[in-house]
Amino acid sequence: MKKIAPCLWFDDQAEEAAGFYCSLFPNSKIVRINRYPEAGGDVHGKEAGSVMTVEFELNGQPFLALNGGPHFRFNEAVSMQIPCESQAEVDFYWSRLVAGGGEEGPCGWVKDRFGLSWQITPTKLAELFHSAEGARAARVMTAMLTMRKLDLAALEAAGSE
């Protein structure tokens, strides 16, 4: 069965972004770089030989990065979620994605320097929200809404009050 491969549209940073993302995740690699031909230059407006697409994998999941020009920008309507088993993992991904011009967001969200949104989420969070006791989920939600980078110990404490 074929895997679905998200296509990420960049102005002209596809190769840089793919390399950066591959450096963050295990089992990741650049698969292929395709370059713009001379044909179609009047339509795509890119210099022949410049990077058109980068096929890459993040932890075995295929992606395509396209240098399509400045016509479209990322927004929070689509984000990448990183499930993290520990606070150390949350801290690792958070610090690296914010570095070099990224932006912190609320409730575990961050934008990287390319403008792509990421949710850096402890896997324990779903368990804390999934409770027969509605008050527990409400306490966890109230705590989470005060955070930027998620603090697993504080979320667990809110869930056990």
7-10, strands of its sheet edge to edge: 7-10, 61-67, 51-58, 29-35
pTM of the prediction?
Answer: 0.91
Topology of the domain comprising 1-72: 2,3-Dihydroxybiphenyl 1,2-Dioxygenase; domain 1 (3.10.180)
**Short-list 77, 69, 72, CA closest to 13:** 69
Fold annotation for 74-161: 2,3-Dihydroxybiphenyl 1,2-Dioxygenase; domain 1 (3.10.180)
pLDDT digit string (tens) for 73-130?
999 999 999 999 999 999 999 999 999 999 999 999 999 999 999 999 999 999 888 8
